[in-house]
Amino acid sequence: MSQVAYLPAGKREQTKVQNRQAILDAAREVFGELGYEGATVRDIIRRTGLAAGTFYNYYRSKEEVFAALADDGARRFAPILKALRGKGGALDTFVRDAIRAYFEFMADEHISWAARRPAGEMQPHVHGETPEMAAVFAEVKDAIENAINEGRGPISDPEYMAAACIGIAREVCDKMLMRRPIDVGAAADFASEMILHGLKGLPGAKC
């Protein structure tokens, strides 16, 4: 029987939390130094100091670790989005503030990962929806629905609008994180204009 089996239930849960966090912290560093494509599970395990068997108790692949990192970020960003939503005001103000907050969050979150990722490497997308990502989507959708119901936004499909906002923000943010230096202001302004006004809202647009 393993040593963990002798630990009290509370201690076992604490150890699980610590091990999972150690893996995520190590993965951020490894992805930052080697890039997603160049990193391997073995690289992550070496950085944690944990046994390989312990790692596989939590994750089966680097894809699962990346998805967990995305979930962790979404879980911590959701309260920021909720606070912005609580301010009320015009829908376009919420969109601009939310986009800038998201871009700033991502730039800070990936200071060792995205900011040092090998130039030109695309950040992989997480396929499938997780509860954490669904919570972020719900915050955006609810904000749009409230604005429409209160006459502060265009009468349109709030689900499509939320999907479009999140899609544009993710794609532009991915490109922002690949550039050096990272310019949060320019990227946030571009994404906001695209969401609020489309191509006609961009500087110099003639369409």
| Contact between 45 and 87 (Cβ < 8 Å) | no
Q: Which residue has the higher pLDDT, 3 or 146?
A: 146
Q: Sign of dihedral through CA atoms 192, 198, 200, 203?
A: positive
Residues 108-130 have pLDDT tens digits of: 876 545 444 555 555 555 544 56
Vertex 161: Cα angle to 192 and 138 (nearest 5):
100
The set of residues, in sequence order, having a beta carbon less than 8 Å from that of 68 and lying 6+ positions away, is: 20, 24, 59
Confidence tier at 201 by pLDDT (50, 70, 90)? low
Distance between CA atoms of residues 27 and 43, nearest Å: 8
- CATH number for the domain formed by residue range(s) 62-201: 1.10.357
* Interval 148-169 mean pLDDT: 88
Backbone phi, psi, residue 114, to 5°: -70, -40
Residue 13 has what pLDDT?
A: 87
Tokens 């009290």 identify what position? Answer: 8
Query: Quick one: what percent of the chain has pLDDT higher than 90?
Result: 38
Residue 110 has what pLDDT?
A: 61
Residue 4 has what pLDDT?
A: 47
Residues 30-83 have pLDDT tens digits of: 887 887 888 999 999 999 989 999 999 999 999 999 889 888 888 889 899 989
Residue 165 has what pLDDT?
A: 92
Residue 143 clears pLDDT 80, i.e. is over it: yes
Backbone phi, psi, residue 113, to 5°: -100, -65
| Contact between 98 and 192 (Cβ < 8 Å) | no
124 exposure class (CB count in 10 Å sphere: 0-12, 13-18, 19+): middle
| Contact between 55 and 41 (Cβ < 8 Å) | yes
